[in-house]
Each structure stands twice: as structure tokens, then as C-alpha cells.
Amino acid sequence: MSSQNVKLENTLRVERAIRRMTQADLAARVDVSRQAIIAIETGKFIPSAVLAIKLARVFGKPVEDIFILLDEESPVPEEVEP
């Protein structure tokens, strides 16, 4: 699986909004620049494993709940109606 057909989406913006946290607040919590948070939220930058874990810890959730890996071979399964 090459990195060309992989997309990493994240729910950082949603989690921040739930907790009324600014980008600057989150950046300070994980000790990175505000620009890095902006780039991660917009999908322009894929963080390292260490930074991803730090971000997930801020929201008290597993990394997989914050960062969702999408690729062409295994698209997101459609929700099955009951």
C-alpha cells in the first residue's frame, strides 16, 4: 500500500469545538506551533506517531478515534440500515 492512495482524516476540529478549545490552546498542550495544528486539521500534514498519540491523549480518546485511515483498497464501509 503506497502512501499515494492513502488519506488520513481526523476529527481534531470537532473535538476542539466540543471542548471549546482554540488551535493555540491545543498547540500549547502538545508543544507544537499553531501552524502545525492548522496543517494537521486541513489534512496538509500527517503527524508522526508520537504527535498523533499526544493529540489523542489531550482528548482522552484512542488514536484511531481521532485519526481515521482511508485508502482505496479498503474504503469506509457504508452504514447498514437496521
Partner 1 sequence: MALLSSARYRAAGVFLALAGLLGFCVASTEGLINVYRIILPGNTLPDGAYPYPPEFWGVNAILSDVSICFLVIGMAAVFLAKERDEYLERIRLESVQFAVYAQFLVGLVAFAYVYCTPGYQIENTFQGIMGMACGAFLVAYGLRYYYIVHIKTDEE
Beta carbon of residue 52, minimum distance to partner 1 (angstroms, whole number): 11
55 binds partner 1 (CB under 8 A): no
Identify the DSSP state of 3: G
> Quick one: 40 or 56, whose CB is closer to partner 1?
40
67 binds partner 1, rule: CB under 8 A: no
Q: Does 2 bind partner 1 (CB under 8 A)?
A: no
Amino acid at 73: E
CB of 43 to partner 1, least distance (A): 10
Contacts of 68 by beta carbon, 8 Å cutoff, 6+ apart: 8, 9, 10, 11, 76
**Burial zone of 25 (CB within 10 Å; 0-12 exposed, 13-18 middle, 19+ buried):** middle
Residues that bind partner 1 (CB under 8 A): 31-33, 35-36, 38-40, 42, 44-45, 47-48, 51
